[in-house]
């Protein structure tokens, strides 16, 4: 199914909602003492990317970028909206009117490929966090986070469906 631009506001709301659900999960993890991603590092990576540098030995040691925290959060939400747009493009607006869990959860779990295969290597952590002290633990943490994002996609679409009735 081809994406219909009139469905973009739905994808925008679903993406923002799902990303906010994921952020609530990350806040809970932080309060439980579980380390989570510093979004300034995403902003730092984006800032360097805009200057032509894709990969880093260690993003924490790269020179800071003005506004990197804001860039990180903006990128985080833009990617969430992008993934929601893919979901709406695949499932169509009918799915938003009557959402089911499986497509949202499957897409959410599938999005774990982004950090494991792109972000972690580009930031110096290696493929699937292979250059970190606890690669398996970090991969499982990413999988859990992106599974929560998938639930967030479903919950956001469900909220839109209920409100629009």
Structure tokens at 87: 């979901």
* Mean confidence (pLDDT) of the chain: 96
What pLDDT sits at residue 165? Answer: 84
pLDDT, one tens digit per residue, over 148-162 is 999 999 999 999 999
Taking a C-beta distance cutoff of 8 angstroms, is the pair 15, 82 a contact? yes
Question: What distance in Å separates the CA atoms of residue 96 and residue 160, rounded to the nearest whole number?
Answer: 7
| 63 found inside a domain | yes
| 118 found inside a domain | yes
**What is the average per-residue pLDDT within 60-69?**
97
C-alpha separations of 66 from 25, 43, 133 in Å: 27, 9, 30
| 25 found inside a domain | yes
| 2 found inside a domain | no
pLDDT, one tens digit per residue, over 102-145 is 999 999 999 999 999 999 999 999 999 999 999 999 999 999 99
What pLDDT sits at residue 5? Answer: 87
Write out the DSSP string of 90-130: HH-HHHHHS--HHHHHHHHHHTTHHIIIIIHHHTTS-GGGT
Predicted TM-score (pTM) of the model is: 0.95
Structure tokens at 13: 């709301």
What pLDDT sits at residue 8? Answer: 95
Count of structural domains, the chain: 1
Domain that holds residue 70: 8-163
């Amino acid at each position: 199914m081809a994406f219909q631009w009139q469905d973009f506001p739905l994808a925008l709301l679903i993406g923002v909602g799902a990303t906010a659900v994921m952020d609530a999960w990350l806040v809970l993890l932080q309060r439980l003492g579980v380390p989570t991603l510093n979004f300034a590092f995403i902003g730092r990576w984006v800032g360097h990317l805009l200057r032509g540098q894709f990969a880093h030995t260690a993003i924490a040691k790269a020179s800071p970028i003005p506004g990197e925290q804001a860039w990180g959060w903006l990128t985080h939400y833009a990617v969430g909206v992008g993934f929601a747009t893919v979901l709406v493009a695949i499932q169509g607006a009918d799915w938003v009117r009557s959402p089911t869990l499986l497509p949202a959860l499957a897409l959410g779990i599938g999005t774990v490929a982004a950090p494991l295969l792109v972000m972690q290597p580009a930031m110096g952590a290696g493929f699937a966090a292979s250059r970190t002290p606890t690669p398996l633990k970090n991969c499982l943490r990413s999988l859990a986070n992106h599974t929560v994002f998938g639930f967030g996609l479903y919950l956001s679409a469900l909220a839109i469906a209920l409100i629009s009735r």
